[in-house]
Amino acid sequence: MKKFSILSSIRLKFILFFVLLILIAMQIIGVYFVRELELKLTANFKESILNRVNLLKYNIEQELLIERNEEGINTLRDEIRTLLSENTSNDIQLIMVYDKNSRVLATSDQNNQGIVGQKTTDKNVSRTIVTESKIQNTLQNENNERILYLYVPIHVNGQVEAVLYIEGDIEQVFSQIQVITGVLVTGTSIALGITAVLAVFVAQTITRPIMDMKRQAQAMARGNFSRKVKVYGNDEIGQLAEAFNYLSRKLKNEQAKTDSEKRKLSSILKYMTDGVISTDRRGKVILINEAAEYMLNVSRETVISKSIISVLGLEGQYTFEELAEETESVILDFSTKENPFILRANFSIIQKETGLMNGLIVVLHDITEQEKIERDRREFVANVSHELRTPLTTMRSYLEALSEGAWRDNEIAPKFLHVTQNETERMIRLVNDLLQLSKMDSKDYVLNKSSIDFCKFFHHIIDRFEMSKDQNVEFVRKIPDTEIIVDIDQDKITQVLDNIISNSIKYSPDGGKIICKVMMYHEFIEVKIADQGVGIPKENLHRIFDRFYRVDKARARRFGGTGLGLAIAKEMIQAHNGQIWATSTEGKGTTIHFTLPFDRKKGDDFY
């Protein structure tokens, strides 16, 4: 907002406008009035002088018509001097009469009678005699006073016999004009003062609602639409105030609608599981929701105004124009060796009403799980096909040999039948495991839970393995002597322990130890079964619970493993609301951990 200046105030502009209007009007009127007054007064002054001059001229002509002798010249001078004295007034300062020889006949100046009879050097006297016409001029004397100089020829019998010279005091006319001008200036000042007061009142009447509208506009800019502009009348400004109040109400309603839609959009974007990114027409990011920030591992501050190409990591693969024309989705693979992470990006153009592109909307879908499921499905089909093909191929080979006559050989036939039987049992175990996994995946089974002493139960299973073991391994038991009562499906947990302990025996070296340990916590118990085998590489450890996954495939098949034991164990433990995981040090052994819920209070009631 620009800084307010008093010179930019509309109130001051109104006042200045009225004052300047009156001032200019008075100046124009004053100039015209003074000029016309000056012309009129000077004309009246000259006319008054000329009227008196004509009378004086006539009287002097009458005196000159009288024939006189040499002695009569003095009488003539006295008569003319008398006439001059009688016509001297405030308007006429000096009257002199010159004869045709430019000599002074008479003067009205009583203090300067010595010049009578002297010849004048005034050229205007000679010019008047020669031209026989009057000469009129206004000049300033040594006192800077304006004087009217008048030379009038006096004719006797058609010839110029004398010249009448008059000095008129025209300065008093200008003095009167100056006095009148002063009065006019005083009147103008009074008029300006009154106009200024009226201008302040009028300006306040006009600017008060305007200032109210300004304050209302500032409040509206801050989002406050509750104020109203006061209506002072039904004139145009009052109508403008009413229109402003109507605009305020409409803006309030539209702002409420916009805020509501904005909140809805913000809420939708915030809680969307899909990532959403919006760009301007140049491909710069202007909006990104939290899901997109999480997916791309970026923050809003770092990507705003950044190119969408660089945000999605598509430099060198696409340009912004190519993305805008992309009709199919683009797969973004951000997977690492440890964690797979794949996104699918769909693009939609934002268009103006004119049809021109105004930006781009990018929607990100996390398809990691879908890709993983698809990959697992392909691996599962491939593994099942492989696991079934191997025994079937073996059985077909041995059965073909038997059908070709090997059944007659008493040494070979029993061996072939034994291998065929083993492969058949292996397929039966595989199919049973697959059926069990399928049943657990469909949740079409019920756990038959019962409260048992887990320590006694665990000892019983270990005892069974010790009696039937084929390898030279030692079981080390670290099981509490106290009773631990848990609610479990005994058959399912027996299968879990059988699978884990069987794997430990398979991968334990001759003379190795298998440590069986139970730890009791407040809300669960933890079971650990550790062997001293070759261990599992760190990069493979997280996959040992996947179906058909084997670290050492050759050895697992040699022992008749299906690769589904730990996968089944995981499903069963999770069905009991427990967790299962593995820790391993390559070359030192592997430990399988699993937890089961434990209610200590229920155990106390049982006791």
Ranges for all domains in the chain classified under CATH 3.30.450.20: 11-176, 278-365
Specify which residues 139 forms β-bridges with. 147
Q: Which CATH superfamily is domain 278-365 in?
A: PAS domain (3.30.450.20)
Spatial separation of the C-alpha atoms in residues 458 and 448, rounded to whole Å = 18
pLDDT tens, position by position, 290-313: 888 888 888 888 889 898 888 888
3-state secondary structure 346-409: EEEEEECCCCCEEEEEEEEEECHHHHHHHHHHHHHHHHHHHHHHHHHHHHHHHHHHHHCCHHHC
Which residue carries 């059988």 as its tokens? 498
Predicted confidence band of residue 539 (pLDDT cuts 50, 70, 90): confident
pLDDT for position 519: 92
Angle CA 414–418–423, to nearest 5: 150
Helix, strand, coil % in the chain, rounded to nearest 5: 55, 20, 25
Task: For residues 435-442, give the mean pLDDT.
Answer: 65
Q: Is the pLDDT of residue 360 over 90?
A: no
pLDDT for position 386: 65
pLDDT for position 545: 80
Tokens in use for 364?
Answer: 């990100």
Contact 532, 508 (CB under 8 A): yes
Query: Phi/psi zone of residue 396: left (φ > 0), alpha (ψ -120 to 50 degrees), beta?
Result: alpha
Nearest CA to 163 among 107, 92, 82? Answer: 107
Spatial separation of the C-alpha atoms in residues 45 and 241, rounded to whole Å = 62
Task: For residues 354-367, give the mean pLDDT.
Answer: 83
Amino acid occupying residue 226: S
pLDDT for position 387: 65
Predicted confidence band of residue 578 (pLDDT cuts 50, 70, 90): very high
Predicted confidence band of residue 551 (pLDDT cuts 50, 70, 90): low
Task: For residues 434-458, give the mean pLDDT.
Answer: 76
| 117-126, 154-163, 338-347, 541-550: range with lowest mean pLDDT | 541-550
Spatial separation of the C-alpha atoms in residues 496 and 489, rounded to whole Å = 11
- According to DSSP, residue 542 is labeled G
Predicted confidence band of residue 133 (pLDDT cuts 50, 70, 90): confident
Task: For residues 240-269, give the mean pLDDT.
Answer: 81
Q: Is the pLDDT of residue 4 over 80?
A: no
Q: Determine phi and psi for 156, rounding to 5 degrees.
A: -130, 115
The total of other beta-carbon atoms located within 10 Å of residue 67's CB is 6
Spatial separation of the C-alpha atoms in residues 249 and 226, rounded to whole Å = 8
pLDDT for position 67: 61
Alpha-carbon separation of residue 224 from 215, 227, 229, 258 (angstroms): 11, 7, 13, 15
Which residue carries 């300033």 as its tokens? 140
Q: Is the pLDDT of residue 237 over 90?
A: no
Contact 533, 504 (CB under 8 A): yes
Predicted confidence band of residue 384 (pLDDT cuts 50, 70, 90): low
- According to DSSP, residue 425 is labeled H
Nearest CA to 160 among 125, 136, 121? Answer: 125
pLDDT tens, position by position, 270-286: 777 788 888 988 889 98
Tokens in use for 419?
Answer: 């291998």
Q: Is the pLDDT of residue 559 over 50?
A: no
Predicted confidence band of residue 557 (pLDDT cuts 50, 70, 90): very low
Task: For residues 51-60, give the mean pLDDT.
Answer: 80
Angle CA 260–264–270, to nearest 5: 140
E-only strand ranges, 85-207: 92-99, 104-107, 135-140, 146-156, 159-168
Predicted confidence band of residue 492 (pLDDT cuts 50, 70, 90): confident
Report the chain's terminal Cα–Cα distance, integer Å: 81
Q: Which CATH number among 3.30.565.10, 1.10.760.10, 3.40.50.1820, 3.40.630.30 corresponds to the domain 449-606?
A: 3.30.565.10
**pLDDT over 70, % of the chain:** 87
Mean pLDDT, the chain, as a whole number?
79
Contact 487, 507 (CB under 8 A): no
Predicted confidence band of residue 438 (pLDDT cuts 50, 70, 90): low
Specify which residues 486 forms β-bridges with. 452
Spatial separation of the C-alpha atoms in residues 547 and 562, rounded to whole Å = 9
SS3 (DSSP) at 595: strand
Contact 547, 380 (CB under 8 A): yes
R_g of the chain, CA atoms, integer Å: 64
pLDDT tens, position by position, 74-83: 677 777 777 7
Tokens in use for 453?
Answer: 């002493």
Amino acid occupying residue 320: F
Q: Is the pLDDT of residue 512 over 80?
A: yes
Q: Is the pLDDT of residue 144 over 60?
A: yes
Q: Within a 13 Å sphere around the CA of 263, how many CA atoms are in the beta-carbon half?
A: 5
Tokens in use for 35?
Answer: 């000029």
Ranges for all domains in the chain classified under CATH 3.30.565.10: 449-606
Q: Which CATH number among 3.30.450.20, 3.40.50.150, 3.30.70.1450, 3.30.390.10 corresponds to the domain 11-176?
A: 3.30.450.20
Q: Which of 46-55, 309-318, 346-355, 437-446 has the highest mean pLDDT?
A: 309-318
Task: For residues 212-218, give the mean pLDDT.
Answer: 79
Specify which residues 452 forms β-bridges with. 486
Nearest CA to 505 among 528, 527, 475? Answer: 475
Spatial separation of the C-alpha atoms in residues 170 and 92, rounded to whole Å = 9
Spatial separation of the C-alpha atoms in residues 182 and 184, rounded to whole Å = 5
Ranges for all domains in the chain classified under CATH 1.10.287.130: 372-441
**pLDDT over 90, % of the chain:** 7
CATH architecture of the domain with range 372-441: Orthogonal Bundle (1.10)
Contact 285, 277 (CB under 8 A): yes
Spatial separation of the C-alpha atoms in residues 279 and 350, rounded to whole Å = 9
The total of other beta-carbon atoms located within 10 Å of residue 541's CB is 17
Which residue did the predictor score with more confidence, 580 or 379?
A: 580
